[in-house]
Amino acid sequence: MEFRYLPMTSGDKQEMMDEIGIESTEELFADIPSHVRLKKEMKLKAPKSEYALTKELTALANKNTSTKDVVSFLGAGVYDHYIPSVVDHVISKSEFYTAYTPYQPEVSQGELQAIFEFQTMVSELTGLPVANSSMYDGGTALAEAVNLSAAQTKRKKVLVSEAVHPEYKQVIHTYAKGQSIEIVPIKLKDGKTDLTNLKELLNEDIAGVVIQYPNFFGQIEPMESIQELLDNQRKTMLIVSSNPLALGYLTPPGDFGADIVTGDTQVFGIPAQFGGPHCGYFATTEKLMRKVPGRLVGQTKDENGARGYVLTLQAREQHIRRDKATSNICSNQALNALASAVAMSSIGKHGIRKMAALNMQKARYAKKKLMEHGIPIVHDGPFFNEFVIQLDKDISEVNAELLEKGFLGGFDLGRVDNAFQGQMLVAVTEIRTKQEIDQLAKELGDIHV
C-alpha cells in the first residue's frame, strides 16, 4: 500500500538508518516493554484511495438532511445565516489554516493582525474595551466567565438566570463543580429573568449574575432594571451572554454596566456543522484585562519602529503560569475567529444594523402570520429573532410532519423541561423569505387546527 503523505523512499530509509547506526527501525522502539507491545495490527477499516473515500463519505453526508435542502426555522443557539462568499475563500488560504499559534511574531503578522482586528470588532459590538482572541464556544466562554467572577471576588456563589441557554447552564454547572462554586438559578417570569427573585437572591456573597441578552427564548431582558439592582451590590459582577448579531441593533451590554460579555460568533460566517467548531468570544473591562482567559494580541513596534503585533500578557496563561494560570485553555478557535472577522468586515458598520433589523422584521412577520393562523404566542415581550409558540401536540410529532413538507421546525422546548411541553422556539433569520414564512404558518395552522 502506498501512502501519499509519507515521502520516504526505501533508499532514504536505508541512508537514515545507516546514519543512526541501526539495522531496523524496530531498534528505535526497543525501550517499550515487550509484553505491552501491540503484537497484532490494529483493527481499523482498510485504507481507501482518495477517490473511493470521497465517494463513500459523500454518500454518508447525503444521508443527512442538510439545511440547504429544507427550510429551517431551527435556532436555539445555532443559526442559519447568510455567509458571504469571501469568508471561505479567506479561511481556505493555507498560510492561515496550516499555521500554529503565532508564537513567532516575525512570521505570524498576518494571523496576529487578523486577530487584533477580531478583538477590535468584538469590543465594538459588546461595548467593552478588551476582547480576547476567542474561546471554544459560547457555552465554555460563559463558564469561564463564571469561574473568573468567583476568583476575582473571592466569593463562591453565582446566580444564573433560567432564561440562559439550557446547555450553557449545564456547562456552567460542570465547570463550577471543579472550582466548588455554587450555582443558584434565578426564576423565570413571562419568559424573562424574574427581577423580584433576582432582588431576593442578591447579597454580598454573590460573585456574579449571569444573564442572556437576548435570552434563550428570544426575549430582550430588562437590562436597565438589572443594572439598577446590581448597582446596589458592591463587587458582584454582571456577566452577559449575547448573540453578537443582536448587538448590531440592541444597546451593547457594556452600556448596561456588564463586567464580562461572552457569546458565540457562529452567526458571523460559521456554518452550523452539527454544533462545532463554532467560536466563543470573551470581552471585559480594563480592570479585568490581566485576568482574561486565553490569548490576547497586542500592538507594539519592532526594533526599527515598524508597527506589529504579538501575543501579550502571557503571564496569565498556562504555558507560563502553569497551575496558577487564570484558565487551562491553550488551543482556541483562531480560524473561526478569522472567519467571523471576515464576515463582520463584509457586513460592515451599516450592514450589521440592517442585518439585525432584517432578522427582527422577518421574525415579527412570522409571529403575526402564525397568530393569524390561530397559533398562540407564549410571551408578549420585545424579542430579537426567536419567539415561542404553543401547540396542542407533541412538538417532535409536529416537526416530523413539517419535515415531510420540507421544513425544519423550531426547537422543541419540551426537551428542556416538562413544563414547556407543546412549546416550540421558532427562529427566523434574514435568509427566510415571505413565501417560506407564509407556508410555515399555513402548515402549522393546519397541524394545530
Partner 1 sequence: MSDKNFPLLFERSKEGRTSYSLPELDTESFDLESELDEVYIRKEAPKLPEVSELDIIRHYTGLASRNYGVDSGFYPLGSCTMKYNPKINEDIARLEGFSHIHPYQDPSTVQGALEMLYDLQESLKEITGMHEVSLQSAAGAQGEWTALMMIRAFHEANGDHHRNQVIVPDSAHGTNPASAAVAGFEAVTVKSNEEGLVDLDDLRRVVGENTAALMLTNPNTLGLFEKEILEMAAIVHEAGGKLYYDGANLNAIMGYVRPGDMGFDAVHLNLHKTFTGPHGGGGPGSGPVGVSEELAVYLPKPVIIKKDDYYTFDNDRPKSIGRIKPFYGNFGINLRAYTYIRTMGAQGLKKVSEYAVLNANYMMRKLEKAFQLPYPQHCKHEFVLSGSIQKRLGVRTLDMAKRLLDFDFHPPTIYFPLNVEEGMMIEPTETESKETLDSFIDTMLHIAKEAEENPEIVQEAPHNTIVKRMDEATAARKPILRYRE
* Residues 261 and 242: beta-carbon distance below 8 Å: yes
How far is Cα 260 from Cα 238, in angstroms, rounded to an integer? 7
Residue spans of beta strands (DSSP E) within 351-429: 386-390, 407-408, 411-412, 423-427
Does residue 441 contact residue 373 with C-beta atoms inside 8 Å? yes
* One of 23, 55, 95, 184 touching partner 1 (CB under 8 A): 95
Query: Which among 97, 130, 136 is positioned nearest to 298, based on CA atoms?
Result: 130
Contact 244, 274 (CB under 8 A): no
Question: Rounded to whole angstroms, how far apart are CA atoms 117 and 123?
Answer: 10
Taking CB under 8 A as the criterion, the residue among 157, 159, 164, 175 binding partner 1 is 175
Considering only residues 219-258, where is the footprint of partner 1 by CB under 8 A?
A: 220, 223-224, 247-252
Cβ atoms 215, 163 nearer than 8 A: yes
Decide if residue 10 touches partner 1 (CB under 8 A).
Answer: no
Work out which of 55, 199, 287, 434 binds partner 1, going by CB under 8 A: 434
Contact positions with partner 1 (CB under 8 A) in 19-48: 19-22, 25, 27-33, 36-38, 41-48
Is residue 154 involved in binding partner 1 (CB under 8 A)? no
Least separation, in Å, of the C-beta of 153 and partner 1? Answer: 18
Which residues 63-82 are close enough to bind partner 1 by CB under 8 A?
A: 63-69, 72, 74, 76-78, 80, 82
The yes or no reply on residue 98 touching partner 1 (CB under 8 A) is yes
**Between 197 and 346, CB nearer to partner 1:** 346
Tell me how many degrees the CA angle 335-341-345 measures, rounded to the nearest 5.
150
Least Cβ distance, residue 201 to partner 1 (angstroms): 23
Closest to partner 1 by CB, 204 or 394: 394
Q: Rounded to an integer, what distance in angstroms lies between the CA atom of residue 203 and that of residue 212?
A: 21
**Partners of 219 in the beta sheet?**
383
- Which CB, 199 or 319, lies closer to partner 1? 319
- Counting contacts by CB under 8 A, is residue 295 touching partner 1? yes
**Angle (CA) 337 339 341, round 5°:** 70
324-383 residues in contact with partner 1 (CB under 8 A) are 324-325, 327-336, 338, 342, 344-355, 357-358, 360-362, 364-365, 382
Helix (H, G, I), strand (E, B) or coil at 160: strand
136 near partner 1 (CB under 8 A): yes
Decide if residue 101 touches partner 1 (CB under 8 A). yes
Q: Which is nearer to partner 1, 210 or 234 (CB)?
A: 210
Q: Does 193 bind partner 1 (CB under 8 A)?
A: no
